[in-house]
């Protein structure tokens, strides 16, 4: 495992890896672990948006809808250009979820020295999202997030993903950047698959 991690680090450099997936797929969980493993910084689109909504007292996403693209550009993209992240690899969680935003994401990331080297899709079926939603609600382990406490809002988030984010992933796939990972397994197995597939991509690139 250590040899594979070293190979991934060499290939990644100061670049970035963007992780996508349906709600409850474990994007942030896997992203944080991957960032720690690769000595990278973790940036979550959702966390940034919720912080900005609280700061501005606006709740654009409380009903499960994606925020407008102009706000995404204003709130989220500047994080990719922060000076404290200069010469640091980044693990991104769902940065650019609305079709059309991905080109600007790639442009800004590249200009800041964080070229997107891979895009990971954590694939789980929608019925598993509902199962995890019900479990999380029973355990009350998702904090005070309203979008994780209402089934109708969750269904809206699933619809937004199908209609707006799936086309983003198809575009990344056309560019040869997409890595599909089975998210419907244990957290450890998901992480191991991520590392294995990143290693394969890194090895091909470095050979």
What is the helix (H) or strand (E) element at residue 157, kind and residue range? Answer: helix 151-160
For domain 2-206, give the CATH number.
3.40.50.300
CA–CA separation, 145 and 147 (whole Å): 5
Of the given ranges (40-54, 59-73, 91-105, 131-145), which has the lowest mean pLDDT? 131-145
pLDDT, tens only, 6-35: 999 999 999 999 999 999 999 999 999 999
pLDDT band at 45 (very low <50, low <70, confident <90, very high): very high
pTM, to two decimals:
0.93
**143-151: long-range pairs with CB below 8 Å, 24+:** 145/50, 146/62, 147/23, 147/61, 147/62, 147/64, 148/23
pLDDT band at 148 (very low <50, low <70, confident <90, very high): low
Between CA 90 and CA 22, with CA 161 as vertex, the angle to 5 degrees is: 60
CA–CA separation, 18 and 36 (whole Å): 15
DSSP 52-114: HHHHHT--TTTTSPPPPHHHHHHHTGGGGG-GGGTT--EEEES---STTHHHHHHHHHHHTT-
Q: Is the pLDDT of residue 110 over 60?
A: yes
Which residue shows structure tokens 């899709």? 121
Of 45, 129, 138, 26, the closest CA to residue 94 belongs to 45
How much is the pLDDT for 60?
81
CA–CA separation, 30 and 42 (whole Å): 10
Beta partners for 18? 92, 119
How much is the pLDDT for 14?
98
The mean pLDDT of 114-129, rounded to a whole number, is 97
């Amino acid at each position: 495992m250590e040899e594979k991690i070293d190979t991934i680090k060499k290939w990644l450099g100061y670049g970035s890896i963007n992780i996508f997936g349906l709600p409850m797929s474990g994007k942030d969980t896997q992203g944080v672990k991957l960032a720690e493993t690769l000595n990278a910084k973790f940036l979550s689109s959702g966390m940034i948006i919720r912080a900005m909504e609280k700061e501005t007292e606006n709740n654009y996403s409380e009903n499960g809808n994606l925020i407008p693209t102009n706000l995404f550009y204003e709130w989220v993209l500047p994080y990719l250009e922060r000076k404290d992240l200069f010469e640091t690899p980044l693990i991104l969680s769902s940065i650019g979820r609305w079709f059309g935003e991905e080109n600007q994401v790639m442009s800004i990331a590249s200009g800041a020295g964080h070229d997107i080297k891979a895009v990971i899709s954590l694939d789980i079926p929608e019925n598993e999202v509902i199962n995890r939603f019900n479990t999380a609600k029973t355990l009350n382990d998702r904090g005070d997030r309203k979008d994780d406490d209402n089934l109708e809002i969750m269904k809206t988030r699933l619809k937004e993903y199908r209609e707006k984010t799936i086309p983003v992933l198809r575009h990344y796939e056309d560019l040869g950047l997409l890595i599909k990972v089975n998210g419907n397994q244990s957290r450890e197995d998901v992480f191991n698959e991520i590392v294995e597939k990143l290693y394969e991509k890194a090895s091909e690139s470095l050979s």
